[in-house]
Amino acid sequence: MSALEIIAKHKLVAIVRLDDLSIADELLDALVAGGIRAIEFTLTNPQATETIAAMRSRVGEDIVIGAGSVINAEQVRAVARAGAQFVVSPITKREILDECVAQALPAMPGAFTPSEIQQAWEWGAAVVKVFPANHLEQRYIKDVLAPLPHLRLMPTGGVSLDNLREYLDMGAFALGVGSSLINNQTVANRDWGALRDNARRYVEQMD
């Protein structure tokens, strides 16, 4: 299965935005044990690229590892060399999309308005990250898809156990989930059992 097919099947992308990635092994194992199959490490941490390479060596073909917070073509090339299987950005920038196409990496750029979303799609987005989704009603996804049904939309920002089903019911292709899944205090406490159990709660909601 391709990275995009795995994301389409499981619907959840776990966003790892941490200051300390020295615990990436344990964190990854807990997420995978909880049923998560797509994990994004954001480049807001300078160790993210090397972490992506290390995590790729730990997982099988049914787990996909991507890069997030990508903001230029040089970063796309760097994460491609590290083995990233998809690229997520908070913005829509032509050079990022062009480089993702050149590297045969699914691009998931951030956009907010219907015009921005459609522009990202026309420039080669595999999925458009609707961001920040916490400023929108879940129905926004359905409203955008009504005249633009060809789009694949991934709401990100504020997605939680309380609203994920509604996002999916409104037609979301996938969901980007960050702090509500990977709680900073849980990570600080190294409570990997709690992280695994929280991941399971998210995965169970997808059924």
For 4-19, how does the pLDDT look when each residue is reduced to its tens digit (9 = 90+)? Answer: 999 999 999 999 999 9
Q: What is the mean pLDDT of residues 134-142?
A: 96
Helices (H), the chain: 3-10, 24-33, 48-56, 73-82, 94-102, 114-122, 139-145, 164-169, 184-188, 192-205
Q: Say which DSSP state 173 is in.
A: S
- Cβ pair 148, 118 in contact under 8 A: yes
Specify the pLDDT at position 16: 98
The region that residue 43 occupies, defined by phi over 0 for left and psi between -120 and 50 for alpha, beta otherwise, is alpha
Provide CB contacts within 8 A for 42, sequence distance 6+. 15, 16, 17, 48, 67, 68, 69
Mean pLDDT value across residues 32-48: 98
How do residues 45-94 score in pLDDT, each as one tens digit?
999 999 999 999 999 999 999 999 999 999 999 999 999 999 999 999 99
Instruction: Dump pLDDT digits (tens) for 149-175.
Output: 999 999 999 999 999 999 999 999 999
CB-side exposure of 80: number of CA atoms within 13 Å? 16
**Catalytic residue annotation:** 40, 129
Number of structural domains (the chain) is 1
Is the pLDDT score of 143 beyond 90? Answer: yes
CATH number at residue 168: 3.20.20.70
pLDDT at 117 over 80: yes
Structural domain span for residue 161: 3-205
Residue 199 has a pLDDT of 98
For the whole model, what pTM was predicted?
0.97
Across the chain, what does the average pLDDT equal?
97
pLDDT reading at 128 higher than 80: yes
**pLDDT for position 73:** 98
- pLDDT value at position 39? 98
The answer to whether residue 3 scores a pLDDT higher than 90 is: yes
